[in-house]
């Protein structure tokens, strides 16, 4: 179990929050994946957001979701390299679908995915994720700033810089 406090300053979306997060790490989950889940949550933060109750091993739920007050799924936020079938299912189940990954998503370009062009893909640099993973302990306090797509994460007085690159899964775009 990782307890992470995030002082979030997302200037791109006008979101400024103090987040107290508990992330359970599945035995098969890499630290890079855990950090990507953490960033996906923070950079998508809004009322109703939650980590999956089934954990990362659940094939029926996204790692992060946003639900309205009635419990209806508003946003499916996936992490890593989901299959085209999983993204197809996600885009039928939720109004919004987002993917946070460090992988090359070219494998999805020829696939049939419902509302493919509407899926928001954020590419994170693997080196950036690995540098963050090295600094995450069981209890971690961090500052996360996003401005103009640039990310600045400060942990223990050290700032690690990265960025989010937006990509479209629609053919010929990105």
Tokens of 106: 């070219």
Q: Which helix (H) or strand (E) holds 28?
A: none
Return the pLDDT at 109. 85
Find out whether 99 and 79 touch, Cβ atoms under 8 Å. Answer: yes
pLDDT at 36 exceeding the cut of 90: yes
Return the C-alpha torsion angle 131, 157, 10, 151, nearest 10.
-30
Q: What pLDDT digit, counting tens, does each position of 148-165 carry?
A: 999 999 999 999 999 999
pLDDT at 28 exceeding the cut of 90: no
Return the pLDDT at 170. 76
Tokens of 113: 């995915």
Instruction: Answer left, alpha or beta for residue 14, where phi above 0 means left and psi between -120 and 50 means alpha.
Output: left
Q: What pLDDT digit, counting tens, does each position of 81-115 carry?
A: 999 999 999 999 999 999 999 999 999 988 999 99
pLDDT band at 11 (very low <50, low <70, confident <90, very high): very high
Average pLDDT over residues 6-27: 94
Average pLDDT over residues 49-53: 90
- The larger pLDDT score, comparing residue 28 to residue 62, is at 62
CB-based burial label for 71 (10 Å; 0-12, 13-18, 19+): exposed
Return the pLDDT at 174. 43
Q: Which domains does the chain have, with CATH numbers?
A: 2-167 (3.10.640.10)
Return the pLDDT at 172. 45
């Amino acid at each position: 179990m990782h307890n992470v406090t995030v002082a979030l300053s997302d200037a791109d979306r006008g979101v400024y929050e103090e987040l107290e997060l508990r992330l359970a790490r599945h035995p098969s989950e890499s630290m890079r994946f855990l950090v990507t889940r953490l960033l996906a949550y923070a950079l998508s933060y809004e009322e109703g957001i939650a980590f999956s109750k089934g954990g990362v091993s659940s094939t029926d739920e996204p790692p992060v979701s946003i639900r309205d007050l009635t419990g209806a799924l508003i946003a499916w936020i996936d992490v890593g390299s989901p299959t085209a079938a999983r993204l197809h299912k996600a885009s039928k189940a939720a109004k919004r679908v987002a993917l946070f990954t460090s992988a090359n998503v070219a494998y999805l370009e020829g696939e049939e995915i419902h509302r493919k062009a509407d899926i928001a893909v954020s590419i994170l640099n693997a080196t950036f994720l690995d540098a963050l993973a090295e600094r995450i302990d069981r209890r971690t306090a961090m500052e996360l700033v996003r401005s103009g797509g640039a990310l600045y994460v400060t942990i223990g007085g050290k700032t690690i810089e990265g960025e989010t690159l937006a990509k479209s899964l629609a053919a010929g775009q990105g």
